[in-house]
Amino acid sequence: MKSLDDIAAALQGYDPNALSVNQVHAFLAELVQPVSADESQDAFLFAALGRVLAQDVVSPISVPAHNNSAMDGFAFDAAQLHTDQPLMLRVVGTALAGKAWQGKVNAGECLKIMTGAILPDNLDTVVPQEFCQVVASHDVTTITIPPNILKAGDNRRLMGEDLMQGQAALQAGQHLTPAALGLVASLGLPDVRVHRRLRVAYFSTGDEVLSLGEAPREGAVFDSNRYTVFGMLTRMGCEVMDMGVVRDDPVLLEAAFAKAALEADAIITSGGVSVGEADFTKAMMKKLGDVAFWKIAMRPGRPMAVGRIGKSVLFGLPGNPVAVMVTFLAFVRPALLRMMGSTAQPAPLLRAKSLEPLRKKAGRTEYQRGFVSSAADGTLHVRTTGNQGSGVLSSMVQGNGLIVLHHAQGNVAVGDEVDVMMFEGAI
Ligand code: AMP
Ligand code: MG
């Protein structure tokens, strides 16, 4: 395991007092490692939503298991098609979905077939009912297929076209989404091998922070950070350990960090890391672990502490509620996903036209709360949610994404395109 100093030494132009967002990403990619696959467990599909696969899911069957019809119609051998004249065929039976049709279809013959029914080996094409003329007289039914409307293989689903037997249907590192659960079920597999849940402990610090239920007092604020952090962790499928509000008291802080480090893979704190704080939190982090204190060129969320206490990774977030959510989304979330063993790539940023001028200083990354909508012409528009103060939590509720104004970027004029990180699913 690399020490923080080793990681810092390998990072181009590392300056803890002026880190770019990209440098933070590079640092965290070295600091955090996936949990061991040795600690994986079997989970029933209904309990596996949001978990991460520890092993490939190898398909025991081909899907579909047989060549079958994609339409209600008539199956035949396309070698008989003429380019210039209609093809007349006699119907010799009906194949229904769910069972194989017994019999032989010879030249000049076809089989009435339903969607999903197995296609006999010597037939390769299905003509939809509505494309041909059907004539029934006495006990003989014939169809006539006009020329040039079909080619060999039309309306046929090939065996294994979704999945081939023996192939990895899903790979280790896959996050189990609803679609992935369905895919596993379609293979007839009732359970999957997943990484154990990541255990994340969190607490808030600060003497002015009140837990819900405490009597309000002047100058104090109710703790909202534990609730946003709880929600974002739960959305990610983490096992959460809520440790409450910890006062600025060395004894209490030490006990909290020690307990968290013993039980959790990661510890998230909020508050107490900014410049000019009563130094208890920072001092305790320093005493108990290998921790770096950063000033990041970003807004909101400039101060942050990162490191290890025991085997746990520490994310010491700032106190301001919006700064907590933004630093979580920008840094903690990707780092935790990596720890969970997920190989998911971050969702791509979208481009949207700004409906407002935005003031932006080059030399730092800004995350403004935005509301993205589709214009009548199909392009995306974005406006800000108004007051961008780092304590204005309502902006995170009103917005549906963050406008990401990159490090080198300057002011934005009305109509300029900007990058947007949508919240969908994350908050
Ligand atoms: P700090 O980073 O500790 O200087 O806190 C910055 C601001 O965030 C202060 O106004 C705090 O009152 C506020 N704050 C800190 N922790 C919380 C919390 N858990 N919930 C809501 N606001 C908080
Ligand atoms: Mg504080």
List the CATH number of the domain containing 257: 3.40.980.10
How far is it, in rounded angstroms, from Cα 369 to Cα 402?
Answer: 5
**Residue of 281, 295, 320 with the most ligand 1 atoms within 8 Å of its CB, for mutation:** 320
Same domain, 333 and 398: no
CA 271–ligand 1 middle distance (angstroms):
6
Give the closest residue to 372 by CA, choosing from 349, 390, 389: 349
Note whether 286 and 148 are same-domain residues.
Answer: no
Which tokens hold the place of 412? 């934005």
Count of the separate structural domains present in the chain: 4
Q: What is the pLDDT of residue 1?
A: 86
Looking at 315, 339, 363, which one is the last position of a domain? 339
With a cut of 90, say whether residue 303 has pLDDT above it.
yes
- Which ligand is nearest the CA of 276, by number? 1
Same domain, 389 and 267: no
Q: Is there a single domain that holds both residue 262 and residue 224? A: yes
Distance 320 CA to ligand 2 centre (A): 9
Supply the range of the domain harboring residue 108: 68-157
Q: Is pLDDT of 277 > 80?
A: no
126, exposed or middle or buried, with CB in 10 Å at 0-12, 13-18, 19+? Answer: buried
Residues 120-135 have pLDDT tens digits of 999 999 999 999 999 9
Identify whether 40 is part of a domain: no
Asked if residue 334 and residue 209 are part of one domain, the reply reads yes
Residue 369 contacts residue 388 (beta carbons within 8 Å): yes
When pLDDT is averaged across residues 315-324 and rounded to a whole number, the result is 97
Tens of pLDDT, residue by residue over 196-218, are: 999 999 999 999 999 999 999 99
Ligand 1 in contact with 206 (CB < 6 A)?
A: yes
**Distance (Å) from CA 272 to ligand 1 centroid:** 8
280 CA → ligand 2 middle, Å: 10
316 CB within 6 A, ligand 1? no
Q: Could you tell me how far CA 306 lies from the centroid of its own chain? A: 24
Which of 310, 339, 368 terminates a domain? The answer is 339
Q: In terms of domains, do 253 and 325 share one?
A: yes
> Is 246 in contact with 203 (CB distance < 8 Å)?
yes
Ligand nearest to the CA of 270: 1
Give mean pLDDT, residues 361-379: 97
CA 295 remoteness from chain centre: 29
Instruction: Write the CA distances from 253 to 213, 261, 269, integer angstroms.
Output: 22, 12, 11
Question: For residue 280, which ligand has an atom nearest its CA?
Answer: 2
**Structure token pair of residue 257:** 């960090």
| 235, pLDDT greater than 70 | yes
- Residue minimizing CA distance to atom 18 of ligand 1: 223
Q: Nearest to residue 28, comparing CAs of 50, 53, 47, 2?
A: 2
Residue 281 has pLDDT above 90, yes or no: yes
User: Would the CB of 224 count as within 6 Å of ligand 1?
Assistant: yes
User: Is residue 330 pLDDT above 70, yes or no?
Assistant: yes
- 207 close to ligand 1 (CB < 6 Angstrom): no
Arithmetic mean of pLDDT over the chain: 95
Smallest CA separation from ligand 1 atom 3, residue = 271
The residues, any chain, with a CB within 8 Å of residue 381's CB and separated by 6 or more, are 352, 353, 354, 355, 372, 373, 374, 375
* Statement to judge: residues 53 and 190 lie in one domain: yes
pTM of the model: 0.89
Q: Percent of the chain scored above 70 by pLDDT?
A: 100
| DSSP three-state, residue 256 | helix
Identify the pLDDT of residue 83.
Answer: 86
Instruction: Return the C-alpha torsion angle 34, 36, 42, 45, nearest 10.
Output: 0
Domain ends where: 318, 339, 360?
Answer: 339
Q: How long a stretch of residues is the chain?
A: 427
Distance CA(52)–CA(173), nearest Å, equals 6
* Geometric angle at alpha carbon 249, from 284 and 17, rounded to 5°: 40
If asked whether residues 300 and 262 sit together in one domain, one would say yes
Report whether residue 398 contacts ligand 1, using a CB cutoff of 6 Å: no
Residue 293 lies in a domain: yes
Cβ of 271 below 6 Å from ligand 1: yes
Is the pLDDT reported for residue 367 higher than 70? yes
* Opening angle at CA 170, ends 168 and 173, nearest 5: 120
Q: What one-letter code names the amino acid at 226?
A: R
> What pairs with residue 63 in β-bridges?
163
As a whole number of Å, the end-to-end CA separation of the chain is 32
Across the range 67-76, mean pLDDT stands at: 97
Residues 393 and 301 in one domain: no
Residues 6 or more apart in contact with residue 182 via CB below 8 angstroms:
none
Whether 42 is in a domain gets the answer: no
Query: What average pLDDT does this structure show over 171-197?
Result: 96
Q: Does any ligand 1 atom lie closer than 6 A to the CB of residue 221?
A: yes
Q: How far is the CA of 347 from the centre of ligand 1 (A)?
A: 29
CATH number for the domain spanning 410: value is 2.40.340.10
pLDDT of residue 275: 77
- How many C-beta atoms surround the C-beta of residue 395 within 10 A? 22
Kindly state whether residue 248 falls inside one of the protein's structural domains: yes
Do 109 and 147 share a domain, yes or no?
yes
Q: Is the CB of residue 204 below 6 angstroms from any atom belonging to ligand 1?
A: yes
Q: Is 53 helix (H, G, I), strand (E, B) or coil?
A: strand
> Distance, CA 333 to ligand 1 centroid (Å)?
20
Q: Same domain, yes or no, for 80 and 121?
A: yes
Q: How far is the CA of 325 from the centre of ligand 1 (A)?
A: 12
Tell me, yes or no, whether 226 and 112 share the same domain.
Answer: no
